[in-house]
Amino acid sequence: MREVAVVTSAQSPCLAANRRDDMSGILLPVLREALAGIELSRDRVDFVVSGSHDFHEGRTFAYIDSLDAVGAWPPISESHVEMDAAWAFYEAWAWLQLGHGDIALVYGIGRGSLPRNLDQVVPTQLDPYLLTPLRPHQDAIGGLQACALLEAGVTTEQEMARIVARSLADARSNPHAQVSGEYATDTLLAEPYVASPLRRHDVAPVGDAAAVVVLAAGDVARSLTDRPAWVRGIDHRMDTHYPGARDLTHAPSARRAATEAAKTAGFGAADVDVAELHIEYSAQEPLLVRELGLGAATAINPSGGPLAGRPTTATGLLRISEAAAAVRTGRAGRALAHATNGQALQQNLVCLLEGGTRA
C-alpha cells in the first residue's frame, strides 16, 4: 500500500452564521493559509475533491461556486461528495493509492445556518414513506438515542454535562472555536430540555466554516514537511438506514471501521494518544469510546470537538484535520479521527494517523 500523509491543514472559525461571504469567500483564505504553510503552489496539486451539502444552499450544484477559490482553469482533476468532507478525504486517499498523482487537496464547506428552518431539512434524510411525513424535529432522533443510552446505563445526564463542560473548556484554547464564559456542571444540568434528555448544550451547534486538508504520497510528503501525519489505516462502514431497525445503544459500523482500519495500521484505537470524535450529541461520546475501544489515557476531542461548533459537512474533515495537527506538532505520536454521517451514527469513518517513519 502506498504511504500517504496529511502535510498541512487549515480551517476558518465556526461562526453561528456567516452572511458576509459566499462559498468561495469562506474558502479562499483557508485555502491560502493551508498552501502557504508548506509553500505549495496550487499548480502542483494533482487532484481536488470537496464535500458540501447543496440541500442547505437550496439549489443544485451549488458547490461549483467554491471552485472560484480553487481555480478551475487551466482544467483540474476534480470531484465532489454530497456528504461530510471526511468521505472526500477517503476518496483523495484512494485516488493517491492508484498512483495517478502525488498531491491531493481536500476541502469541506459547512453552511448549516442557511436554511430558515432545519426542522424541515433534516427529516428529509429519513425514510421518505414512513418517517419523513412525521416531521420529527432536527434533534428528535438524537433525543431517542440519548434516552436509550441512559436507560441502558451507557451514560448519565451528569456525565453528559461533564463532557460538555470539558469540551467547552478545551475549546477556549482553540482559536477557531467561538466559545466564551464558564460552564459548570450544575449550571448545565439546570438548563431546560430540547429533546429529553438532551439540553441545548448537549447538541453540537450548527455553524458556518470551511476546512482544507492536503495529502501527499511518499517522498513528496517528506519533502513538504518535516513531520507528516501518515494515514496508517482508514475505513468506513454503514448500518441500516432505518433507525427503528437498529439498537441505538450500539454502533456496529463504527466498531467495524475501527477494526478494519487497525488491520492495515498495525495499531488500534486503544493505542492512540488523541481521538477526535464526530459527536453531534454529548451522549454519543461514551458510546463511541466503547465501540471504538479507546484507552483510558486517550485525550478525547482536545480541540473542543463538535460541541464547540459543527459546520455541516465539514465537521468530520475537521476531526481529521485536528487529529493530524496533533501528530504533526508532536502533541501525539498516534491519533484517531472519526467522522459520521446520517442519523444516530448511521455511517462511520475511522482514520488512524501516526508520526515518524515506519520501519
Per-residue pLDDT at 358: 52
Strand partners, 249: none
Distance CA 276, CA 209 (A): 18
Distance CA 162, CA 246 (A): 27
Distance CA 217, CA 1 (A): 11
**First-to-final CA distance of the chain:** 14
Residues 6+ apart with CB under 8 A from 211: 9, 10, 11, 12, 30, 85, 107, 108, 311, 314, 317, 318, 321
CA atoms within 13 A on the CB side of 178: 16
Specify the amino acid at residue 214.
Answer: V
**Per-10-residue mean pLDDT for the chain, 359 residues long?**
96 92 94 95 95 83 89 88 96 96 96 88 89 94 98 98 95 76 86 97 95 97 96 97 95 98 97 98 98 97 96 96 97 98 96 80
Distance CA 11, CA 240 (A): 32
Distance CA 224, CA 230 (A): 13
CA atoms within 13 A on the CB side of 32: 7
Per-residue pLDDT at 359: 43
Per-residue pLDDT at 226: 93
Structure-block grid coordinates of residue 145:
438515542
Distance CA 105, CA 172 (A): 29
Q: Residue 312 in contact with residue 85, Cβ under 8 Å?
A: no
280 — alpha (psi -120 to 50), left (phi > 0) or beta? alpha
**Phi then psi for 193, rounded to 5 degrees?**
-80, 150
Per-residue pLDDT at 357: 62
Structure-block grid coordinates of residue 213:
486538508
Q: Residue 244 in contact with residue 279, Cβ under 8 Å?
A: no
Per-residue pLDDT at 350: 98
Distance CA 337, CA 254 (A): 12
Per-residue pLDDT at 242: 93
Q: Residue 252 in contact with residue 239, Cβ under 8 Å?
A: yes
Structure-block grid coordinates of residue 96:
493517491
Q: In whole angstroms, how far apart are CA 286 and each of 172, 209, 356? A: 22, 27, 30
Q: Residue 136 in contact with residue 145, Cβ under 8 Å?
A: no
